Structure 1
Amino acid sequence: MYFVPPSSVEAGVSPAKRKSHAADAAATTEEIAELQKGLAKELPEGIEIDFDEQFDAMFSYKAKNYALLTKDGEVVIKGGALKSRGLEKFQRVFLEEMIKLIMEGKPEAIIDLRNEFEKRIRNREWKIDMLMKTDTLQDSLDKYRAKIAGSARNRAAAYELALASGRNYKPGDQISYYIKATPKKVPAYEAAKPASEFDPENRDENVDYYVAKLDDLVKKFRSLTDVASAPKQESLAL
């Protein structure tokens, strides 16, 4: 359970302020202690709450999906919607940094963050592990073939690579791949290439594809910036 105190009580003092505001930090600690005692008095007899940790800010995306900003500036993300395994690493990093900017009250910096990520993609600055995707096979290759033949599912890059490899992949096996550049636009599963075959001296990743994925992520979570434009969220204690 998370408790949001009134605006008169701060959750803590950031590391940058501690040296010059030691007295304020002490006062804040006392205020929080009094707040906790007051909350305990409101609870039914026999029920006690332990306060495990304090956070400088909280961002709530939807039920069971939220982020917390620690006093040390670290971001803690909870919930599959905000850290989906279906995202490439660069998308997860971007999402975390975007949420941090929102919790720090700097939503105007998100556009610069997006532009910086595009620059790194187009300049091919990242190692392939930032762009590659790792999928776990859920079906056997025979079952996958049968589903495709019966129009029961769409083709998928990981399965197509598994079939092309000639190896006996089984459910539970993982395949890492990236999307290479092609002369003309083709479905992603046709442009997929095993990450193990990536040559850093002759890079061939499809930069336009990854920039488009970056923009799709920005559009998907546009509501985050809408929330950021609302009145500043209160500090909170746990």
Structure 2
Amino acid sequence: MSNSELRKGLAKELPSGIEVEFDEQFDAMFSYKAKNYALLTRSGDVIIKGGALKSRGLEKFQRMFLEEMIKRIMEGKGEEIGHLRHQFEKRIRNREMPIEMLMKTDTLQDSLEKYRAKIAGSARNRAAAYELALASGRNYKPGDQISYYIKATPKKVAAYEAAKPASEFDPQNRDENIDYYIAKLDDLVKKFSGITAEVSAPKQENLAL
């Protein structure tokens, strides 16, 4: 559908006197849920909107994988997602991911004293950022940020027990937990498995917004 055809079609449906302005035209749209969607620009860039698709809880490599996966869905190339996942897994296994891609940065919401009290009262679970803050001996306050990654351990332990400050990462002696990060990758694939399975080859209609 051309831009002019879309304009005319909308004009017929809207009440008299109401006009819609078109700021930009996109090649495709991926709608995940209300107020959570992605747009494919004519130059091939992906614009993602909504907390469900831009969660701050995701590491950078997850956000990059999610963007590339959604792009392939919008391009009608769902069959390439398996290869995309393999590429990311290979980089993780070969320890080729920069620590900036693997680390997570959390902002402390509570004071360390309040965190201790909540833990003592079973009001919340332990969290990596707070545990690292306590172990550091520094006077961290609400609003301070802590960057960390999950290191490999001899035995499987909770993530907060395996957390290590990103500032202590040694690129010459890498110790990130490979299985942990591959599992995070698989979690994303599973989350969207129902959608990717239904992706068909034809590209969606052009959208002008």
What range is the shorter-chain TM-score in? over 0.9
Q: State the one-letter code of the partner of 2:48.
A: I
Which of 144, 155, 161 is matched with 1:184 structurally?
A: 155
Secondary structure of the structure 2 residue equivalent to 1:228: coil
2:78 matched to 1:107?
Answer: yes
Structure 2: gaps spanning 5 or more residues: none
Aligned pairs for 1:86-105 within 5 A: 86-105=57-76
Residue in 1 aligned with 2:88?
Answer: 117
What is the CA–CA distance in structure 1 between the aligned matches of 2:9 and 2:81, rounded to whole Å? 39
* Same amino acid, percent of matched pairs: 83
Cα shift at 1:233 = 2.9
Structure 1 residue 47 displacement after superposition:
1.4
Partner residue of 1:141 out of 112, 118, 134 = 112
Aligned to 1:221: 192
Please tell me whether the aligned partners of residues 77 and 201 of structure 2 are also in contact (alpha carbons under 8 angstroms).
no
SS, match of residue 164 in structure 2: strand
Deviates more, 1:208-217 or 1:158-167: 208-217
Work out which of the residue numbers 191, 198, 211 in structure 1 matches 2:169. Answer: 198
Selected match of 1:164 from 110, 114, 135: 135
CA offset digits 1:68-105 (Å, max 9, x no partner): 00100000000010110100000000000000000000
Which amino acid is the alignment partner of residue 50 of structure 1?
Answer: E
**TM-score normalised to the size of structure 1?**
0.84
Give the TM-score normalised by the residue count of structure 2: 0.95
CA contact (8 A) 1:99 1:224 kept: no
Q: Distance in 1 between matches of 2:177 and 2:54?
A: 24
**Does residue 32 of structure 2 align to residue 61 of structure 1?**
yes
| 1:182 partner amino acid | T
CA–CA distance in structure 1, aligned partners of residues 5 and 127 of structure 2: 57
1:93-150, Cα deviation, whole Å (9 max, x unpaired): 0000000000000000000000100000010112100000000111110000001001
Decide which structure has the larger Cα Rg and report it: 1
Matches of 1:34 and 1:183 in 2, distance apart? 63
Unaligned runs of 5+ in 1: 1-8, 10-30
Count, aligned residues: 209
Secondary structure of 2:47's counterpart equals strand
